[in-house]
């Protein structure tokens, strides 16, 4: 098992993870905690109470340019979203697209609550930061700047009791609805807090200055509702919530339509196009894609893993598992993957090639666990 090699980057919470007994692994070039007391316990605690995650490895960025409309238009030139109509303090999920229509990254876009004055906040996947930075540099004129907020940490507090714990230190948080954000204070620390996350639960992401990160994290961990949660449970939580993970369920060959992310293609953009890969993506919207991201429920107790072939009942290969494991809340193995379109209806009987040969499985609707966002 990989441990903290010297060439791995560390988040501002590195020493805290070690003090809390976190088992550190290499992830996207960072030394990150995969678990503390155990993945199953951390997963269940998050669904029942509140889990604190360090997601400081993700890429916090500010895109700025000459005016709010200009910045919105710049982002629209490389994504299928609409950002001119993004209200102050609102967030939107979008996709960075290649000219082939494949997905370069998925990201969150936040318009500052103060309006922005020519700025949008972005959060990139950790493993895609360099690629995204280069792409913005290539595609946007020099009047736009993408600033890396490397002096900031990002914490996620997720679960039904997250609001109780956070509101004691940041009362503004309780007034937010899902996918909204505000500048605020956590006790006396400046922060940007949003009601968002990657678990399917109600919860928040809190961006703080690196020098405040340990104090904020320790303050939250002192709340009775909160325990630290590692990347292992983050993965099982997002898998149950049906949320795709870049590099596994999404890559440069998958289109937004195949990935079931057509909601990220704004209505206006479906008519006007004008984003990378629009030919393919609009055609797939009209005619249907050749393959689709689906949930997979193995019939047995054995988890199926990423890379396993999905077979029709006649043993022909119809797709591939892209994420798979055990769903602690479902109390059964769960997976997601891509299948040829004729097999994508929930309830379709398929097989998954396992270590023990083909095993029966069923195509399932996503998510496996219904979301509990506060809208």
Binding residues for substrate: 205
Q: Which is nearer to another protein, 267 or 356 (CB)?
A: 356
Q: Which is nearer to another protein, 205 or 359 (CB)?
A: 359
Interaction of residue 5 with another protein, rule CB under 8 A: no
Site for another protein in 133-192 (CB under 8 A): none
Host H or E run for residue 165 = helix 162-167
CA distances from 70 to 79, 95, 110, 331 (A): 14, 19, 15, 48
270-309 footprint of another protein as x/- string (CB under 8 A) = -------------------------------xxx-x----
Applying CB under 8 A, among 11, 31, 35, 194 the residue interacting with another protein is 35
First to last CA, the chain: 41
Alpha-carbon torsion angle 206, 53, 97, 372, nearest 10: -80
Question: Which is nearest to 229 in space by CA: 320, 162, 311?
Answer: 162
Interaction of residue 371 with another protein, rule CB under 8 A: no
Is 107:45 a contact under the CB 8 Å cutoff? no
Interaction of residue 22 with another protein, rule CB under 8 A: no
Q: Which is nearer to another protein, 29 or 303 (CB)?
A: 303
Interaction of residue 110 with another protein, rule CB under 8 A: no
C-beta of 45: minimal distance to another protein in Å? 13
Interaction of residue 247 with another protein, rule CB under 8 A: no
Site for another protein in 185-214 (CB under 8 A): none
Applying CB under 8 A, among 189, 325, 337, 351 the residue interacting with another protein is 325
Determine the Cα–Cα distance for residues 110 and 94; give it in Å rounded to an integer: 11
Q: Which is nearer to another protein, 149 or 334 (CB)?
A: 334
* Residues paired with residue 339 on neighbouring β-strands, in sequence order: 292, 319
Classify burial at 37, counting beta carbons within 10 Å of its beta carbon; exposed 0-12, middle 13-18, buried 19 or more.
middle
Determine the Cα–Cα distance for residues 220 and 93; give it in Å rounded to an integer: 27
Is 158:201 a contact under the CB 8 Å cutoff? yes
Interacting residue ranges for another protein, rule: CB under 8 A: 1, 34-35, 38-41, 232, 236, 301-303, 305, 325-326, 328, 333, 355-356
């Amino acid at each position: 098992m990989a441990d903290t090699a010297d060439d791995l980057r560390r988040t501002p919470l590195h020493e805290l993870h070690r003090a809390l007994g976190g088992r550190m692994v290499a992830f996207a070039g960072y030394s990150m905690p995969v678990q503390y007391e155990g993945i199953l316990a951390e997963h269940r605690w998050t669904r029942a109470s509140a889990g604190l995650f360090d997601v400081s490895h993700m890429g916090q960025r500010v895109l700025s340019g000459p005016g709010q409309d200009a910045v919105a238009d710049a982002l629209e030139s490389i994504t299928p979203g609409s950002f001119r109509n993004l209200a102050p303090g609102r967030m939107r999920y979008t996709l960075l697209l290649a000219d082939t229509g494949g997905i370069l990254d998925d990201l969150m876009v936040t318009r500052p609550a103060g309006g922005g004055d020519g700025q949008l906040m972005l959060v990139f996947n950790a493993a895609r930061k360099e690629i995204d930075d280069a792409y913005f540099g290539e595609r946007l004129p020099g009047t736009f700047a993408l600033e890396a907020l490397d002096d900031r940490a990002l914490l996620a507090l997720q679960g039904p009791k997250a609001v109780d714990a956070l509101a004691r230190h940041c009362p503004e948080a309780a007034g937010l609805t899902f996918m909204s954000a505000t500048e605020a204070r956590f006790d006396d620390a400046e922060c940007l807090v949003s009601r968002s996350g990657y678990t399917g639960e109600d919860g928040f992401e809190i961006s703080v200055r690196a020098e405040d990160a340990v104090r904020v994290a320790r303050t939250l961990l002192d709340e009775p509702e909160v325990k630290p949660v590692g990347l292992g449970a983050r993965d099982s939580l997002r898998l149950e919530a049906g949320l795709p993970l870049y590099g596994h369920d999404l890559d440069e060959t998958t289109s937004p339509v195949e990935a079931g992310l057509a909601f990220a293609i704004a209505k206006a953009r479906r008519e006007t196009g004008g984003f990378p890969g629009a030919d393919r993506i609009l055609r797939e919207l009209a005619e249907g894609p050749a393959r689709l991201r689906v949930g997979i429920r193995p019939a047995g107790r054995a988890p199926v893993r990423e890379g396993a072939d999905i077979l029709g009942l006649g043993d022909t290969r119809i797709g591939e598992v892209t994420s798979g494991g055990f769903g602690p809340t479902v109390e059964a193995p769960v997976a997601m993957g891509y299948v040829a379109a004729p097999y994508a209806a929930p309830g379709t009987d398929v097989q998954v090639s396992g270590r023990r040969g083909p095993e029966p499985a069923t195509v399932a609707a996503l998510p496996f666990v219904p979301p509990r966002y506060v809208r």
